[in-house]
Amino acid sequence: MQTTPNKRGAGFLAEVLVITYMGAIALAAQLTGIYLLLFPELAALSHDVMTRQRGKWASQPWRIVLTPTLTAAIGLFLARHTSYGAISIALAVAANLLVIKLLKSSIGPAISAGALPMVLDERSWMYPAAIFMGLVGLVAILSVWKRFGPSLGTPSIQFKNESQLLDALEAYPHDRFWVVSLLAFVLILGFAAQLTGLRFILFPPLIVMAYEIFGHPEVPGWMARPALFPVVCVLTATTGVIATHSFQASFIGVMLTVLVSIAILRAFQVHMPPALAVGLLPFVMNSPSMRYPISVGVGTVALTLCYLGRAYARKAFARRASTAGGASEWQAESQRYELR
């Protein structure tokens, strides 16, 4: 007999664990002065693997550590030897995609790890080392959580279906021409950021989001309601900016930002881990201001329009191909009739 898991209680405890872990990381960053220990995508990864122990990311613990560490090292190397610009960011993204492909990894947030040094103008080799330490800690906590955490019992059919959809979204992309679409998007927004001086129009978690939806356009998820996507991201970005100024980038501000960001995701009923990273970015920025949420709004609206435009073009092409196919069949049938 199939039973429904106590998903609500276990999910609540998992989110408490995520908030606590991010607070501990922020405190370590504050005490050591290594602010990059607070890798923003660490919140996204933590939330997904803790709340979905059987999920795609949680099933690849060594890739959780290795993939972002390698992409961070590549991104840092490029940041040290090139200047900020659309082409250099696109080059970093392309290199990161190659790493993900070679490792057969599904850890999309690793792309953000590779793009972040370029956006923040980071030059210290402590950056990949800090990411490595944070992710090792996450994997250690995940293994303990899997072993001693609350048992979820036998998943319900609805829970299995939801988990399968999320796993499909987190799997390696398989859509045709998704790499071209992603790199074109990065170049266009990168040039916009370069010309306006608003670097965070192309904020790193946005590249992860573009990677997911361009690679899996058929998977329903948080883009099922496109209008809410920019709203959620702007709200978490605004929360991060306010918390940074109110608590002087302390661990209390980090914990509060993660808490409010999770509440926002719950309120809108979406599973969007990168939105947590959006909220934490102000804690690793120099002098974050309200220009950041505005930039996030511009970037997310641009991605939404690209997604809708691409979906419309795909449907139009499919209809045209269907019509052409029907016409070809009619012509073939006519020719057969004439021969008779």
- pTM score above 0.95: no
What is the pLDDT at residue 54?
80
H or E element at residue 243: helix 228-247
Total Cβ atoms within 10 A of residue 252: 15
Q: Give the pLDDT of residue 3.
A: 38
**Would the pLDDT of 187 be above 90?**
yes
DSSP conformation class of 172: P
| Band (339; pLDDT cuts 50, 70, 90) | very low
Rounded to whole angstroms, what are the CA distances from 327 to 19, 88, 332? Answer: 59, 47, 9
How confident is the model at residue 33, as a pLDDT? Answer: 87
As a whole number, mean pLDDT of residues 177-190 equals: 91
Cα–Cα distance for residue pair 237/206, rounded to 1 Å: 12
Q: Report pLDDT for 337.
A: 39
Q: What is the pLDDT of residues 18-58, one digit of tens each?
A: 999 999 999 999 999 888 899 999 999 999 999 888 888 88
Q: Distance between CA 138 and CA 142 in Å, rounded?
A: 6
Q: Give residue 169's pLDDT.
A: 55
pLDDT at 175 over 90: no
**pLDDT tens digits for range 60-116:** 999 999 999 999 999 999 999 999 999 999 999 999 999 999 999 989 999 999 999
User: What is the pLDDT averaged over residues 321-335?
Assistant: 55
Q: What is the pLDDT of residue 215?
A: 80
pLDDT of res. 163: 52
Instruction: List, for residues 233-282, the tens digit of each pLDDT value.
Output: 999 999 999 999 999 878 999 999 999 999 999 998 888 888 999 999 99
The CA-based dihedral angle spanning residues 264, 267, 271, 276, taken in that order and rounded to the nearest 10 degrees: 10
Given this model, what pLDDT does residue 174 score?
63
pLDDT value, residue 78: 95
Q: What is the pLDDT of residue 157?
A: 42
Going 126 to 142 to 19 to 109, the CA torsion angle's sign is: positive
156 phi, psi to nearest 5 deg: -75, 165
In angstroms, the CA 13 to CA 5 distance is: 14
Give the 3-state secondary structure of residue 314. Answer: helix
Residue given tokens 């953000």 in the structure block: 112
pLDDT of residue 222: 55
Q: Which amino acid is it at 73? A: A
Q: pLDDT tens, 117-155? A: 999 999 999 999 999 999 999 999 999 988 887 765 544
pLDDT tens, position by position, 277-320:
999 999 999 889 999 999 999 999 999 998 888 777 777 777 77
Residue 188 has pLDDT above 50, yes or no: yes
Task: Give the model's pLDDT for residue 110.
Answer: 94
- In whole angstroms, give the CA distance from residue 209 to residue 214: 8
* Cα–Cα distance, 5 to 10 (Å, whole number): 9
Residue 220: pLDDT band with limits 50, 70, 90? very low
> Is it the case that residue 6 has pLDDT exceeding 80?
no
- SS3 of residue 92 by DSSP: helix
Residue 5 confidence class, pLDDT cut points 50, 70, 90: very low
